[in-house]
Amino acid sequence: MGRVLIIGAGGVGAVVAFKCASVPEVFTDILLASRTKEKCDSIANFIGNNKIKTAQIDADNVDDLVGLIKQFNPDIVINVALPYQDLTIMEACLATKTNYLDTANYEPRDVAKFEYKWQWAYQQRFKEAGILAVLGCGFDPGVTGVFTAYAKKHYFDEIHYLDIVDCNAGSHGKAFATNFNPEINIREITQNGKYWENGQWVETKPMEIHRPVEYPNIGQRESYLLYHEELESLTKNFPTLKRARFWMTFGEKYINVLNVLQEIGMTSIKPILYEGHEIVPLQFLKAILPEPASLGEGYKGQTSIGCQIKGIQNGKERTYYVWNNCNHEVVYKECRAQAVSYTTGVPAMTGAMMVLTNQWTGTGVMNVEEFNPEPFMEKLNEYGLPWNEEIDEQLPIEK
Ligand code: NDP
């Protein structure tokens, strides 16, 4: 039905490749390309049966990307490299009139700031080229936006309060590691927090606000208010929201180590001179931390990510909680991955499937909550991320 080019062969890229290869009736030809070709080859060997072709690519280089896209001629490019590459890959998609999908919004290398403005600026050009860019199609952002659209469609006339809750109660046994790209992850959580309230953003110090939240099948975990990119698109696409917040759990040890790293300057993105070379401390730190793709073996426990929503329908107040729990060990058995890569890779594959099967259509640059949530929610159940819902019960965030 369609040809897919996957860019990025890290933890998430491995899951996207594995999952696409398991649906050959949709993904007829698959090319996995990344900076280090050996990593693509290792993933392709694991999947076997010559289902995946591989290539080397520097996704910072538009000309190289255009060359690769012209050669392979994909119907869609799934970008699961790093947010720094979003704009170069979008440019190459424009030049070749190819659909685009990613899981994280653009951020410039030298400022730890993610915002949709750079990618939303492509709206007109994508429309004129007659192609579609699906932005933020991992779990959060991604499934959390689809969950919110599904809630609105079925249970609410107006959504007023949204709390996205993200818990990883797993244990990988390492002293310190991040579950997705360490550089991007640490940039995200060391920024100031921010949430939406009464028509404006309220800023907090990093991890300043926290509280225990109860997670299904896991129990209570301390959860920290962070700014997360889907808050930007969801507050725009659901303008009735009076408040929107994002919470993520961190263990005490993780926070202690992170504090030390911050205090000694290891998380800084300002270049320093080291033995005559300029190095960025955070990039050096990334180089010595475990790669997310290597964490799967022996990872125990599960994740739970969901949306807790309050609003009105027919003039009556309602509540809705929708979530997925994903087990690290089960995921490892299936595809040698850990649950954070898996919960990102499955939605990316599913979003591409929605485009290739014409269930998500249109031109321009769109966030996932702008599409019909129904077929996507169905496929989540089918491809390894079953979801649960609770209607009109007290929300855990309010207990
Ligand atoms: P990894 O660090 O494991 O993988 C990143 C991959 O991108 C690596 O294979 C890397 O190559 C490759 N890459 C980096 N720069 C380039 C480049 N210039 N050209 C070509 N390839 C490049 O990260 P993850 O797999 O954990 O994360 C991938 C993406 O998914 C990130 O953008 C992350 O923010 C996003 N994400 C989204 C989530 C969501 O729920 N929406 C959750 C988790 C992650 P090399 O191996 O050579 O370094």
CATH number, domain at 6? 3.40.50.720
Answer yes or no: are the C-beta atoms of 293 and 10 closer than 8 Å: yes
pLDDT at position 112 over 80 = no
* Mean of pLDDT values over 163-170: 97
Say if 360 falls within a structural domain. Answer: no
Q: Where on the phi/psi map is residue 40: left (φ > 0), alpha (ψ -120 to 50), or beta?
A: alpha
Say if 260 falls within a structural domain. Answer: yes
| Atom number of ligand 1 nearest to Cα 139 | 40
Q: Percent of the chain beyond pLDDT 70?
A: 100
Q: Are residues 130 and 169 in the same domain?
A: no
- pLDDT value of residue 351: 98
- pLDDT value of residue 280: 95
**Which pair of structure tokens corresponds to residue 254?**
């993780």
* Mean of pLDDT values over 164-179: 94
**Whose structure tokens read 């310190």?**
176
Q: Are residues 85 and 40 in the same domain?
A: yes
| Atom number of ligand 1 nearest to Cα 293 | 3
The answer to whether the CB of 367 is under 6 A from ligand 1 is: no
Q: How far apart are CA 354 and CA 142, in angstroms?
A: 13
The answer to whether the CB of 178 is under 6 A from ligand 1 is: no
Residue 357, burial from CB neighbour count under 10 angstroms (0-12, 13-18, 19+): middle
Q: Are residues 69 and 188 in the same domain?
A: no
Domain boundary, last residue among 76, 105, 135: 135
| Atom number of ligand 1 nearest to Cα 9 | 9
Of 233-247, 250-264, 318-332, 347-361, the poorest mean pLDDT is in 250-264
Answer yes or no: are the C-beta atoms of 194 and 227 closer than 8 Å: yes
| E-state strands within the chain | 2-7, 27-34, 52-56, 76-79, 99-102, 132-135, 158-168, 193-197, 200-204, 210-215, 219-226, 243-249, 272-274, 277-279, 302-313, 316-327, 364-367, 387-391
| Atom number of ligand 1 nearest to Cα 12 | 25
Domain boundary, last residue among 118, 135, 152: 135
Average pLDDT, the chain: 96
Of 134-138, 242-246, 260-264, the poorest mean pLDDT is in 260-264
- pLDDT value of residue 240: 98
Q: How far apart are CA 172 and CA 340, in angstroms?
A: 12
Say if 340 falls within a structural domain. Answer: no
Q: Are residues 103 and 151 in the same domain?
A: no
The answer to whether the CB of 245 is under 6 A from ligand 1 is: no
pTM above 0.95, yes or no: yes
Q: How far apart are CA 122 and CA 251, in angstroms?
A: 39
| Atom number of ligand 1 nearest to Cα 185 | 34
Length of the chain as a residue count:
399
- pLDDT category, 6, cuts 50, 70, 90? very high
**CATH at 218:** 3.30.360.10
Ligand 1 centre from 98 Cα, in Å?
21
* C-alpha torsion angle, residues 77, 80, 81, 84 (rounded to 10): 90
The answer to whether the CB of 32 is under 6 A from ligand 1 is: no
Nearest residue (CA) to ligand 1, atom 31 = 82
| Atom number of ligand 1 nearest to Cα 182 | 2
Q: Are residues 95 and 214 in the same domain?
A: no
pLDDT at position 12 over 90 = yes
- pLDDT value of residue 114: 86
Say if 206 falls within a structural domain. Answer: yes
Q: Are residues 175 and 214 in the same domain?
A: yes
pLDDT tens profile 340-390: 999 999 999 999 999 999 999 999 999 999 999 999 999 999 999 999 999
- pLDDT category, 111, cuts 50, 70, 90? confident
- pLDDT value of residue 1: 84
**177-200 as b/e: b if 16+ CB within 10 A:** bbbbbbbbbbbbbbeebbbbeeee
Nearest residue (CA) to ligand 1, atom 13 = 81
- pLDDT category, 97, cuts 50, 70, 90? very high
Direct distance between the N- and C-terminal alpha carbons of the chain, in angstroms, rounded to an integer: 48
* Mean of pLDDT values over 114-141: 97
**Which pair of structure tokens corresponds to residue 290?**
């475990």
Domain boundary, last residue among 135, 151, 168: 135
Say if 74 falls within a structural domain. Answer: yes
Q: Are residues 292 and 178 in the same domain?
A: yes
Q: Are residues 77 and 118 in the same domain?
A: yes
pLDDT tens profile 27-41: 999 999 999 999 999
- pLDDT value of residue 110: 86
pLDDT tens profile 193-219: 999 999 999 999 999 999 999 999 999
Q: Are residues 118 and 166 in the same domain?
A: no
Q: Are residues 311 and 194 in the same domain?
A: yes
| Atom number of ligand 1 nearest to Cα 36 | 47
The answer to whether the CB of 345 is under 6 A from ligand 1 is: no
Say if 12 falls within a structural domain. Answer: yes
Say if 361 falls within a structural domain. Answer: no
Total domains in the chain come to: 2
Say if 241 falls within a structural domain. Answer: yes
The answer to whether the CB of 13 is under 6 A from ligand 1 is: yes
The answer to whether the CB of 292 is under 6 A from ligand 1 is: yes
pLDDT at position 263 over 80 = yes
Given ligand 1 and candidates 109, 180, 230, 304, which is best to mutate, with the most ligand atoms within 8 Å of its CB?
180
> What is Dmax (Cα atoms) for the chain?
68
- Residue 70: CB atoms within 10 A of its CB come to 12
pLDDT at position 289 over 90 = yes
Given ligand 1 and candidates 18, 36, 103, which is best to mutate, with the most ligand atoms within 8 Å of its CB?
103
Residue 21 CB contacts under 8 Å (≥ 6 apart), including other chains: 27, 30, 47, 51, 52
Q: Are residues 88 and 202 in the same domain?
A: no
Nearest residue (CA) to ligand 1, atom 3 = 10
The answer to whether the CB of 60 is under 6 A from ligand 1 is: yes
Q: Are residues 130 and 156 in the same domain?
A: no
Given ligand 1 and candidates 5, 7, 34, which is best to mutate, with the most ligand atoms within 8 Å of its CB?
34
The answer to whether the CB of 351 is under 6 A from ligand 1 is: no
What is the residue range of 311's domain? 143-334+385-398
